[in-house]
Chains A and B, each alone.
Chain A
Amino acid sequence: MIRFDRVGKRYPNGHDALGELSFELGAGEMAFVTGHSGAGKSTLLRLVALLERPTRGQVTVNGRNLSAVRRRGIARVRRGVGMVFQDHRLLLDRSVFDNVALPLVIAGTPREEMAKRVRAALDKVGLLDREKSAPSMLSAGEQQRVGIARAIVAKPPVLIADEPTGNLDPQLAAEIMALFGEFEQVGTTVLVASHDLPLVKRMGKRVLVLDHGKLIDDFRP
């Protein structure tokens, strides 16, 4: 479902973010990417969502070789990848409902079905009663849950998250991580970047450890 084949990424400023990275993540598998900051975790996720192009090697997502995807095809690839960000990136001038509905609006989902699916996603993250709230009225943990609801509402086959618990206290972080674990159970491929190694280990999933852009460990605790 996600395959990296000798992938390297050098930024225009000469910084080598990834070098010779190869791994494969099967359909419905969940894994964590860990390593200290600057190890290349974010770059790895950015390549999956086609926010960046690799300098070398090939990235395959949902059976598509991303180097064969032209500029016009980028949007379609991204619709197949749900994304959760550390700073949630919700639109603050819209209600929780409208934020979660955005991927469906983009996909052109009919109105009635949209409402049903938005409520199902909000229910999943336990925020069904907050659909009319403004994101700014929610706590940090709740905002991140809305971000997750938005990432899964269109039922993408792949879900990626970049430090989704970075701004949360340990208990909230554990709750959010548990939530990601649930999506694996419904067959979504989940890839979460986190530097919180103790928390990652407690989840008992596959862990990819990056250091200076190289894969130095791939284990399951």
Chain B
Amino acid sequence: MNRRIEKNRAKPATPEARTKFSLRAWREQHLYSLFSSLGRLAARPWATALTLAVLGFALALPILFGLLLDNARGLAGNVGEASSISAFLKPGTKADEAQAFATRLRARADVAGVGVKTPEQGLDEFRERSGFAEALKVLHYNPLPPVLIVEPRGDAEALVAQLRGEALVDQVQYDAQWRQRLNAILGLAQRGAQVLAGLLALAALLVIGNTVRLDIAGRSEEIAVMQLLGAEAGFVRRPFLYSGFWYGTFAGMLSLMLIVIVQFILAAPLARLAAVYDHAFVVHGLGVVQMLAVLAAAAAIGWLGAFLAASRHIALGQPR
């Protein structure tokens, strides 16, 4: 080989220098791809905005649904740990009668424990928990009956039925049943939200993949020239991967914006609802960590969609 050419090829001799050189080259190429892909998105603002809108909605929907469920679950949790059976005794039942009844129940094999709540305790609790403290002051007597809180052991169905038949018992409330139903409904809805999230994430992946595929088709001449000039597959692919990354990231931001807007719209009616319930529950939105997770997931979806499209289409037209 000719000496002069060898000298001019700017290849540092020592291994250390070469590492430095290639690290720097790597960084330069990534910065180049990062900004050139961003520039290309900005060069077609309408097409980019439209794609981002589709992606933003696709990502915002499952997140909103998930938030709704999360809040519903929180609200249901507030109702109380209710595996217990509340047996409201007939009004006017005396305290010692209630105690005797409780002792009788404690002897049963299917009862783990029985608590007695006197009408006074009930009134205090009612005052604390509900928003009717003012209204209760108007009352001249205590309308509440004594209540037995029965903790069942094992299957509670037979116990509930027998309690209903007792002469002292006015009404039996068994929370676990409707809680189980609510939990089942919420569980179903949650699984539905997960499936929806998965499907919409897949849709986002396809949208980004297709957008990148069109982008590749539109720049086939540029890709061909780069390959002729000796660009590695990774180099040719990189700007498209960054495009996908940007699509994902911006779509993530857009979906977060949509969620914030929805939260803002719902804030006033929710506050009214909470006030009516005496602030017994707190509506929570997305935390910072969750927002970052949404962004990271969106960016990853974008990158992956672009990778699938680019790997498939850029390899075409090269000899084996």
Contacts and interface: CB of A to CB of B under 8 A. Distances in A.
A interface residue count range (under 10 / 10 to 19 / 20 to 34 / 35 or more): 35 or more
A50 B1 contact: no
Given A51-B319, A109-B25, A188 B5 contact: yes
Interface string B223-234: 011111111110
B5 A91 contact: no
B2 A102 contact: no
Contacts of B28: 108, 110-111
Contacts, number: 87
A89 interface: yes
A202 interface: no
Contacts of B3: 187
Interface in B198-243: 221-222, 224-233, 235
Nearest to A106: B231
Interface string B1-36: 111110011100000000000101110110010000
Given A155-B9, A188-B5, A106 B235 contact: yes
Contact of A89 (B10, B228, B231, B233): B228
Contact of A53 (B229, B235, B320): B320
Contacts of B142: none
A111 B25 CA distance: 9
Main secondary structure of the interface of B (DSSP, over half): helix
A53 B320 CA distance: 8
A109 to B, nearest CB: 7
Interface residues of B, number: 31
Contacts of A107: 25, 230
B319 A83 contact: no
Given A53-B319, A111-B28, A106 B226 contact: yes
B78 interface: no
A108 B2 contact: no
Contact of A109 (B5, B10, B225, B235): B10
Contact of A108 (B1, B5, B22, B320): B22
B231 A52 contact: no
A110 B24 contact: yes
A155 B226 contact: no
Interface of A: 27-28, 49-53, 62-63, 71-72, 74-81, 83, 89, 91, 102-103, 105-111, 113, 150, 155, 157, 186-188
List the 9 shortest-distance A-B pairs measured between CB atoms, nearest first. Answer: A108-B25, A187-B2, A79-B230, A78-B230, A106-B231, A75-B232, A75-B230, A103-B229, A53-B319
Given A27-B1, A110-B25, 17 more contacts: A28-B2, A71-B318, A72-B233, A75-B230, A78-B228, A89-B225, A89-B228, A91-B221, A103-B230, A105-B29, A108-B26, A109-B10, A110-B24, A113-B10, A157-B2, A187-B5, A188-B5
